[in-house]
C-alpha cells in the first residue's frame, strides 16, 4: 500500500521500505508473525506488535536482519483515515503478476490515493504522479467509474481543464462534490491552482488532527518503556 505499490503502479522508481495493509485478526497476526520471524524482523519503535494497537489505527514498524533483506523496514497497518475496512480493500484489490510468476496484491488505486493523503510532504507529489500515470495510460478508453476518479483526484490544473472540456456534463454533475471543478469548467487556471493548494492544506490538517491522539498515546508508550528499563 505504500512506496512499493507506487512503484508497481508506475509512479515511482524505487522505495526503501515496504508498507502493508493487513487484516487484524488473531489468526492472521500469527501468520504474519511467522513470516516476520523468517525475515528476522524486530519491532523498532512503539507500539508493540499487538492487535489492539493495529485496531486503533497505529502502524507497527519492523526492521529486517535476514541476509537477503538486511536493513529493510516493514510497516503494517489496519486502519487509515478515510480508507475503508480491510475487507472492502481486499475486495477491490488489484492483482499484478510479473514475468517470474510472482503475484502482488495491490491496494486499488483510488484506495491508495486516499491512503496517501497525509500531512507528509512526499505524499502529495506521489498522489499527483499516480493519478497522472493512470490518466495517460487510459485516456480515451476510460469507464465511468474511472472518469469519476479522475475528476475527484486529478491534481494537475491543465489536466483538470482538459477533462472538463472533454466531459462537460460529468464535470457539471461533480461540482457539488468537488467545488474547485467550477474553475476547471471555466478554464480558470489561476483560481484552480489556488483551490488545489487549499484542498491539500485541508487534507493535511485533517490528517494532523487524526494523528494527534494517536501520537499522544505513542508518547505515553515511549515514557512507559523508558521507566521499565
Tell me what pLDDT residue 225 has.
86
Query: What's the chain's average pLDDT?
Result: 95
Lowest-confidence pick of 4-8, 58-62, 120-124, 154-158: 4-8
Q: Is the pLDDT of residue 227 over 90?
A: no
Confidence of residue 228 (pLDDT cuts 50, 70, 90): confident
Q: Is the pLDDT of residue 229 over 80?
A: no
Q: Is the pLDDT of residue 12 over 80?
A: no
Print the SS3 string covering the chain.
CCHHHHHHCCCCCCCCEEEEECCCCHHHHHHHHHHHHHCCEEECCCCCCCHHHHHHCCCEEEEECCHHHCCCEEEEECCCCCCCCHHHHHHCCEEEECCCCCEEEECCHHHHHHHCCCCCCCHHHHHHHHHHHHHHHHCCCCCHHHHHHHHHHCCCHHHHHHHHHHCHHHHHHHCCCCCCHHHHHCCCHHHHHHHHHHHHHHHHHHHHHHHHHHHHHHHHHHHHHHHHC
Tell me what pLDDT residue 139 has.
92
Lowest-confidence pick of 1-10, 133-142, 204-213: 1-10
Q: Is the pLDDT of residue 41 over 80?
A: yes
Tell me what pLDDT residue 222 has.
93
Q: Is the pLDDT of residue 13 over 90?
A: no
pLDDT tens digits, residue range 166-223? 999 999 999 999 999 999 999 999 999 999 999 999 999 999 999 999 999 999 999 9
Rounded Cα distance, 72 and 167, in Å: 45
Tell me what pLDDT residue 27 has.
96
Cα dihedral 221, 222, 223, 227 in deg (nearest 10): 100
Cell output for 157: 490544473
- For range 62-69, the mean pLDDT: 96
- For range 45-66, the mean pLDDT: 96
Exposure of 185 in the CB half-sphere (CA atoms within 13 A): 16
Cβ proximity of 124 and 134 under 8 Å? no
* Cα–Cα nearest to 157, from 185, 116, 136: 185
Confidence of residue 15 (pLDDT cuts 50, 70, 90): confident
Q: Is the pLDDT of residue 11 over 90?
A: no
* Cα–Cα nearest to 167, from 143, 191, 190, 188: 143
- For range 36-57, the mean pLDDT: 95
Tell me what pLDDT residue 16 has.
80
- For range 102-129, the mean pLDDT: 95
- For range 68-83, the mean pLDDT: 95
Amino acid at each position: 500500500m505504500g512506496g512499493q505499490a507506487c512503484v508497481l503502479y508506475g509512479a515511482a522508481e524505487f522505495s526503501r521500505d515496504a508498507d502493508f495493509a493487513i487484516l487484524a485478526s488473531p489468526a492472521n497476526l500469527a501468520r504474519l508473525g511467522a513470516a516476520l520471524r523468517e525475515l528476522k524482523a524486530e519491532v523498532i519503535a512503539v507500539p508493540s506488535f499487538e492487535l489492539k494497537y493495529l485496531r486503533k489505527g497505529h502502524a507497527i514498524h519492523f526492521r529486517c536482519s535476514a541476509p537477503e533483506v538486511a536493513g529493510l523496514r516493514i510497516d503494517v497497518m489496519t486502519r487509515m483515515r478515510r480508507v475503508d475496512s480491510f475487507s472492502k480493500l481486499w475486495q477491490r484489490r488489484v492483482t499484478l503478476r510479473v514475468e517470474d510468476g510472482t503475484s502482488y496484491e495491490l491496494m486499488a488505486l483510488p484506495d491508495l490515493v486516499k491512503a496517501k493523503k497525509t500531512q507528509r510532504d512526499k505524499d502529495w507529489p506521489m498522489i499527483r504522479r499516480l493519478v497522472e500515470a493512470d490518466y495517460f495510460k487510459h485516456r480515451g478508453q476510460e469507464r465511468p467509474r474511472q472518469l469519476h476518479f479522475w475528476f475527484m483526484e486529478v491534481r494537475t490544473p491543465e489536466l483538470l481543464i482538459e477533462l472538463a472540456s472533454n466531459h462537460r456534463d460529468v464535470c457539471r454533475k461533480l461540482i457539488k462534490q468537488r467545488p474547485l471543478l467550477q474553475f476547471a469548467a471555466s478554464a480558470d487556471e489561476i483560481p484552480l491552482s489556488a483551490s488545489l493548494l487549499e484542498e491539500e492544506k485541508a487534507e493535511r490538517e485533517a490528517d494532523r488532527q487524526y494523528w494527534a491522539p494517536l501520537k499522544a498515546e505513542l508518547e505515553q508508550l515511549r515514557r512507559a518503556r523508558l521507566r521499565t528499563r
